[in-house]
């Protein structure tokens, strides 16, 4: 069966007839969704994010079995954070259908994309959910550097081109700062929203007390 698995590399111009198939493949995923994205989405949210990702694929390597897509590794250009504005930075999403996992397809898809990116002046970044041992293994075996982690995610990067190694220490520090700032902002956001809820409750309670005092 493994001999029947083929790999197809598609650049932007060749992608058009495949986008709908890739989207359908993504929408038909079940358990694979749990580690595919770093956030949990509602069904509607999942459909929206998949459509956006698929519409923004720059190039992809597909694993095919009997004419059906069974795995995708695709480079996208949807990230807009400051890190992406300062450094040439790319990211991709990778998924192999449940029935085909554990046979080296993820490793192969990952290697193919890294090879194509080998000529690019950019850093590839990726956040992996901590319990995603197969993805962590792939990253570790293919030379990614672990930058930091939070409660749920591990952040990695890898220079695409060997010459980018010179900039690696600077990128490491910048990526670290970027993640730490993001985490701090998220904590501050949730803290302020809790404070806002509490103060609104207090305000409402005070208004109600005043109101009952006046009407009494
Ligand atoms: C991550 C994913 C793409 C890996 O694809 P895959 O085809 O199963 O990967 P491989 O078969 O090449 O296995 C990669 C490594 O993980 C190991 N592995 C596979 N399944 C594993 C499991 N369930 N537990 C632990 N290790 C596992 C393999 O042995 C291999 O290690 P090795 O090279 O030392 O032998 C696939 O599991 C997947 O699609 N997951 C859901 C989506 C996802 O998490 N995407 C990544 C988001 S960052």
Question: What does the pLDDT look like over 166-207, one tens digit per residue?
Answer: 999 999 999 999 999 988 998 899 899 889 888 888 888 888
**137: CA distance to ligand 1 center in Å?**
7
| Tens digits of residue pLDDT in 134-145 | 999 999 999 999
Look up the CATH number of domain 2-189. Answer: 3.40.630.30
Is the pTM value of this prediction over 0.85? Answer: yes
Residues 6+ apart with CB under 8 A from 144: 126, 156, 157, 158
**182: CA distance to ligand 1 center in Å?**
28
CB-based pocket (< 6 A), ligand 1? 32, 35-36, 94-96, 101-107, 126, 128, 132-135, 137-138, 141
SS3 131: coil
Going from N- to C-terminal start, the domains of the chain cover 2-189
CA distance 202 to 208: 10
| Tens digits of residue pLDDT in 40-91 | 899 999 999 999 999 999 999 999 999 999 999 999 988 778 898 899 999 9
Tokens (6 digits) for 53 = 């990702």
Average pLDDT, the chain: 92
């Amino acid at each position: 069966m493994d001999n029947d698995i083929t790999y197809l590399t598609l650049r932007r111009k060749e992608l058009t007839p495949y986008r709908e198939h890739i989207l359908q493949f993504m929408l038909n995923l079940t358990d694979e969704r749990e580690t595919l994205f770093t956030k949990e989405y509602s069904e509607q949210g999942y459909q929206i994010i998949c459509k956006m990702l698929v519409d923004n694929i720059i190039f992809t390597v597909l694993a095919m079995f009997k004419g059906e897509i069974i795995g995708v590794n695709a480079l996208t250009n949807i990230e807009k954070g400051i890190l992406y504005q300062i450094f040439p930075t790319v990211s991709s999403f990778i998924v192999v259908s449940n029935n085909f996992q554990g046979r080296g397809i993820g490793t192969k898809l990952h290697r193919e994309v890294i090879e194509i990116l080998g000529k690019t002046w950019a850093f590839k970044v990726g956040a992996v959910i901590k319990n995603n041992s197969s993805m962590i293994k792939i990253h570790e075996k293919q030379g990614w550097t672990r930058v930091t982690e939070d409660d749920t995610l591990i952040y990695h990067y890898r220079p695409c081109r060997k010459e980018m190694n010179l900039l690696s220490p600077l990128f490491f520090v910048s990526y670290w700062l970027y993640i730490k700032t993001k985490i701090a902002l998220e904590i501050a956001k949730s803290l302020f929203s809790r404070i806002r809820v509490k103060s609104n409750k207090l305000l409402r309670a005070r208004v109600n007390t005043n109101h009952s005092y006046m009407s009494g």
